[in-house]
Structures are given as structure tokens and as C-alpha cells.
Structure 1
Amino acid sequence: MKAVYYEEHGDTDVIQYDELPDPEVGRDECLVEMKAGGLNHLDVWTRRGMPSPGEFPHIPGSDGAGVVQEVGEDVTRFEAGDRVAVAPATSCGTCEFCRDGDYSLCENFMLIGEHTTGVHSELSALHEDNLVPIPDDVSFVRAAAAPLVFQTAWRMLTTRAEVQQGENVLVHGASGGVGHAAVQIAANAGAEVWATASSDAKLELAAECGADHLINYDEDDFVSAIKGDTDGRGADVVVDHIGAATWQDSITACTQGARLVTCGATTGPNPETDITQIFWKQLDIMGSTMGTPGEMDDVLSLVWDGTLTPYVRDVLPMSETDRAHEMLQDREGFGSVVVVPDDEYEAGTYEDVTGSV
């Protein structure tokens, strides 16, 4: 099979697209012909070596969608011909958190493509628990762009922060995968949404996703903007996956009793923190990682019916995955980037949903 892979960590020039052995299919696995693969910023971190996957050559990619070609003898949920998307989280299955149904808290929690072999290849062998069905009217490109970012944003806002109708929600990085999903989820919950991004063009698309107030962080101070719009009150919920560059100001932007929820730190994990604001305002600082199978089902049901929609900034052939990584690390465009096998791309047999909101 053809696959995207790299044999060492480094810049985008380590990425290759060439022949690798077909995967072997286990008793509880499905062999999936991958029709599309979604990229996330974690693909950039993994390629750089954070964390190291441990074995090379490493096939990246946590998100993907395709058609089941073959099933192992113990598989009960799928059969050949089924259209599926990848649910990328894995866990030990036996600890107290897994027994309680929340494997995202498992100490052995891992992501396909980050810690183990990914799905940016023509074929992937995946445990049946790591697959979800796709309705016939949903394209593979759209399905590949949805699971990781929408599950992550759903858990952040719905389970952890418990956003309510009428609350003020500030979403940083609204042009990225998690960011544009968070804008839609908050708006769908009836919140008033402030979105930050680096250009007016990106902010226009954030408005299409449901943002009520737009802040160009290269030109305006987001604390002053939201405080000014709310008569000094600030945000009830702040979604911050940016890290060091925004962390302290995110705390300042919070109103009394607010919730600040984070799932990442793309600008650095060790920001300065004014602890006096945290206790004086009685803030809740919440971490969030991925989600449960039930949360995946809940959010994907809204993606499948069109209530929430992944925005795809570009669709590229897998041989241009290096370009896809550059788009993510340089923050070009709005939404997710999707790659498809070169044969599919050249034949034009994939559905291009670029720009769909």
C-alpha cells in the first residue's frame, strides 16, 4: 500500500509518501480502505518528536474515513462495505476510569497516529471500537475532518465547562480545528460568542460559524474588547488552547466564578499565572482531553445532521502531506486540512467540500 510516513523526527522534509507493507488484520480489527485523512496540529507536534511514537517508519494521522474491506473473526459491529470514520482514542480498558466509561482519564490513554500507527495511508487495520459509522449522505472528506476536533471541543464546552444559554463565551484561535468547532458548539448552546483570530478574513468565517463578536488579536486587545462589550463583566467561559501567549490575559478576561478550559498549549506550556485573580474571582481552571465514546456519538450526531459542520480549508493528495503540515504550523487558512490517496485525488473520485460551513 501507499502511505504517508517518516523515519525520523524533523521538519516537513522528513515526510514521505511511498510503499509500505499492507497491515495485518487482527481478530477484533477491520481492514479499512482509507478515502480521506484529517490533519490536526498534533500531527505537527508528533512529527517534531513530541511525543515520540517509538517506532519507525511512523504513519501519522488520527482522523480518517473510508470503507471496511475485511473484518476479523471476532468483529461484531461492522462488515465489509460499511462506511466508517476513525474514533482515534485508545485506553487500557480495565482501570477505574475506563470501568466508569471515561477512558480519556485513563493513565494509559493514547491516540492513534500520535502514540501508535496512524491512518494516513491507503489501508489501515483498526480495532472495531475505534470506528464509527458514517451516514451515506456524509462525504468522506467531511467525516475525516470531524471526529478529533469536534469531540475535543464538545467535551470542553459541554461536559467540562457546562456552557449555558445566555453565557458569554470567549474562544481563542477560532480559525483552527478545535476553535471553529468550539464556536459552533457554544453558539448552538445559545451562548453569546466572542472569537479571536489573526485576520479579518478568518473572522468573517468565524462569524459564519456563529460568532457574535470578532476580535483580531493582531490589532486589538481581547480583554479590552470583551470587557468593553459587557460593561466590564467579561467572559463566563474562556476556551484557551493557545497557552503561554494568551493564558494570563484569558484569566483577566474572566468574570467572577468563570470557567477557563484548556486542551492544549501551542505557544508554550509554562505561562506566568496571577494566582490572586484565580482565588479572588473564584475561577475554575479546567483541563480537557478528547472525550468518551458517548460524547463522540453525541457530537457526531450533530455533525452528521448538519447542525455542526467541519470547515475544510483545503484537500490535498497524500503526496503533498508536507504542504498540509506547513499550512497547519503556519496557521494558513480556516478549519481543517484533509489529504486523500493520490489515486483518488488524480481521478477526482473524492468529494471536495473545501470551504463548507
Structure 2
Amino acid sequence: MKAMLYHASGGPEVLEYTDVDDPVPGDGDVVVEVVATALNRLDLLQRNGWYHMPGFTFPHIAGMDIAGVVAEVGAAVTEWQPGDRVVVDPSMAGVPDNSKLAGMGDLYGELGILGATLDGGYATKCLVPASHCYRVPDHISLEQAATFPTVWLTAGHALFYTGGLSEGETVMIHAAGSGVSVAGIQLAKHAGATVLATAGTDAKCERATEIGADHVLNNRTGDVTGWAMEVTGGRGVDMVFDHVGTALFTQSLFSMGIGGRLVNCGNASGDTATIGSLGHLFHNGLRIMGSDPYRPDEMGPLWDTFCNGIGSGEFTAVIDSEFPLPEAAAAQLKMLESDFFGKILLRP
């Protein structure tokens, strides 16, 4: 099969489009013929060597978000047949023992993740535990399905499992054009929350309103804290959903009301943060919460919610652009320059 891989960290030039051996399924596995895979910022972080997930090794085939068609099934697989359309849960938590990918489910250690620590979707085929495939209904394209796994599961887990967002609350979501924020905006609106979204350009702010944001601000030209207080009548937001990190951390803390929660699931702008005032933090009962990895049992229910939302028109699978797999370097450059809204796809 063909794959886009790299043997060492570096710029786009380290990516190599080459032939590799076809995957061979274990008894509990399937081989998926990849139709679409979505980029995530981790693809760039690991390729550049800025960060590596525990268990990362070279050579590496990236691509955590995989949708495609079952090409081959293992001897013990009865629920899938060649030709079935599937989307894949990339986390190897909860994998049965009859899979070649079993034993990698430590959520707080070396968690196996397709496209992060294991071979992923930057290829024409991918080995997947049968247990981690989910059927794609007819009303959803495989391209739409590929936008789902990492960002919708990350957003859903952070907003509800970790942060406890509820109907009637207000939530501020940064980097509105990123895949995880596109998912977060729509999930928060679905839950009955009021959404304040910030982005780095006016055009992205406008797009954010189209997918449900109630209030938007260009965070490079506006006063984030002042705006949040103005929109909430001086009360402050109940939650900040943050994966930006350093750049907006202090503003986020001062944008929250009494008992507010800052839920963090990323460090796109840097891995350090400054708390502007411990007094403000403890006096107002603010909480800073890290959103840990999602659990295996979260994929199915949220996938059903996504499929129903796409079918009803409530949700939109926002695809910014598509690139053929040999042009993965150009796709990653587009992401690095933040020149996108939604998900960038690769098509093998």
C-alpha cells in the first residue's frame, strides 16, 4: 500500500510518500481502506518534534481521524463485512484481547492512538480493531464522517464530562475556526448554552455565527475580558473552553464569573500559563480543569448524536478543504498558517 510517513522530525520535507507493507488483521481486527482522513494539530507537533505522545516511534504514519470501507476482516469478526462503510475510534482504550492492537489502553500512560502512536490514516489502508469501527449511515458521506472522531470527542468530553456544561450557562470558546472549536460551538448550542466565540480574524468570527455562536470577537483586535463582561452584563462566563493555552489564558481567567470553570484540553500557543492573580482565583472560586482522554463508551452515543444532528440539519460537518495524500505537506502548511476553518482532509 501507499503511505505518507517520516523517519525523523523536521519540516514538511521529511514527509515521504512511499510503499509499505499491507496491514494483516488479527482475529479481532479489520483492515480499512481509507477514503478520507482529517488533519489534527498533533500531526504537525509530532512531525516537527515539538511534542511527542508517550509511545511515539519512528517511522510514523499520522492521521487520527479515519473513515473508509472495510477491505478485510479477521477470523473472529462477524459484525463487519468487506464493503461496510465505517468511521474509526482512534483511541485504543478498551480493545479486546484478540486484536493485534490490544494492551495499549492506559489512558494516563502510553495510550495507543491510531495516527499518534500507531500507524494511522495517512495511507491507503489502516489496521483497526473491529470493536472500534462504527457504521456510517447512508445520509452521511465518508468525508463528513472523517471530521468527527478526534475533535467531536475531545469537545464533548471537555464540555460535559469534565466541565459539566448545562442548559442556560454561558461558555466562551477560543480559536473558533479550529476543528475542536467548530465541534464545541455546535455541541454547546445543542445543550442549550449561550456561546461566546473568539477567533483571530473577522472572517472566522463571521463563520462562527453561521454554525451557532451567539456572540463573536476578534481576539487579536478586541479586549476579550471586557467583551465577555459586557456580553454577560458584568457577570462573567460560566465556562471557558480552552485549547489555545498561553496566548489567552490570563484573559480567560478574568472573563469568568463566580464559580467559573476553565476547561483546558490543549496548548496550541504554548505550554506555560500565568495566573494573573491568585487572589482573584480563590476569592471568586474559579476552577482550572484539565480535560483528560475520553472513554471508550463515549464514542457510540456521541456518534449517534452527530449523525442525528447532521440528518436534521442542526449540525454541520465543516470541511475547509481536501488534498490528495501525496500533497500532505501542503495540507499541513495550510494548518500551520491557520489558514482554515473546520477540518482539512486528505484523500488517498
Residue in 2 aligned with 1:74? 76
Among 329, 332, 337, the alignment partner of 2:344 is: 337
- The CA distance in 2 between the partners of 1:118 and 1:69, in whole Å, is 16
Structure 1's 292 and 317: CA in aligned 2 closer, same or farther, altered over 3 A?
A: same
Letter in 2 for 1:7: H
Residue in structure 1 matched with residue 231 of structure 2 by the alignment: 229
Q: Distance in 1 between matches of 2:57 and 2:263?
A: 33
The residue aligned with 1:98 is: none
Distance 2:158 2:166 in 1: 13
Give the aligned partner of residue 89 of structure 1.
91
Q: CA RMSD in A?
A: 1.7
Is residue 2:324 matched to residue 1:324?
no
- Report what 2:52 is aligned to: 51
Deviation at 1:27, TM superposition (A): 1.5
C-alpha distance in structure 1 between counterparts of 2:245 and 2:122, whole Å:
28
Please give the alpha-carbon distance, in whole angstroms, between the structure 2 residues aligned to 1:258 and 1:77: 45
1:247-305: CA deviation from partner (whole Å, max 9, x where unpaired): 11111111000111011011111111133222111122211134123322222112212
Does the C-alpha gap of structure 1 residues 93 and 16 become closer, same or farther in structure 2, counting only changes over 3 Å? closer
String of CA shifts for 1:100-139, please: whole Å, max 9, x gaps.
xxx6844342321111111211111111122211112211
Work out the number of aligned pairs and report it: 333
Deviation at 1:145, TM superposition (A): 1.2
SS in 2 for 1:17: strand
Q: Which moved more, 1:18-27 or 1:195-204?
A: 18-27
CA distance in 2 between counterparts of 1:104 and 1:298 reads 22
Letter of the 1:310 partner, please give it: A
Identity among equivalent positions (%) equals: 35
Cα distance in 2 between the residues matched to 1:81 and 1:219: 50
C-alpha distance in 2 between matches for 1:55 and 1:194: 39
Q: What is the CA–CA distance in structure 2 between the aligned matches of 1:289 and 1:36, rounded to whole Å?
A: 27
Task: Specify the SS of the correspondent of 1:27.
Answer: coil
Structure 2 runs not aligned, ≥5 long: 97-104
Equivalent of residue 287 in structure 1, options 264, 285, 290: 290
> What is the alpha-carbon distance in structure 2 between the residues aligned to residue 115 and residue 324 of structure 1?
21
Query: Structure 1 residue 309 and structure 2 residue 316: aligned?
Result: yes
Structure 1 counterpart of 2:176, from 174, 177, 186 = 174
CA distance in 2, matches of 1:107, 1:136: 37
2:9 corresponding residue in structure 1: 9
Deviation of the 1:54 alpha carbon: 4.3
Where does structure 1 lack aligned partners over 5 or more consecutive residues?
A: 95-102, 342-357
Contact 1:92/1:109 (<8 A) preserved: no
In the alignment, structure 1 residue 296 sits paired with structure 2 residue 299: yes
Q: Cα deviation per residue 1:139-195 (whole Å; 9 max; x = unaligned)?
A: 111111111100100011121112122211100011101111111111111111110
| Contact 2:94 2:296 survives alignment (8 Å) | no
Distance 1:216 1:275, change over 3 A: same
- How far residue 23 of structure 1 moved from its aligned partner, in angstroms, is 1.4
Matched to 1:124, the amino acid is C
Give the Cα separation in 2 of the matches to 1:166 and 1:54: 41
The structural deviation recorded for 1:232 is: 1.4
> In structure 1, what is the equivalent of residue 20 of structure 2?
20
Most deviating of 331-340 and 289-298: 289-298
Matched residue, 1:35: 35
> Residue 333 of structure 1: SS of its match in structure 2?
coil
Per the alignment, in what secondary structure is the counterpart of residue 246 of structure 2?
coil
- The match for 1:217 among 219, 225, 228 is 219
SS, match of residue 155 in structure 1: helix
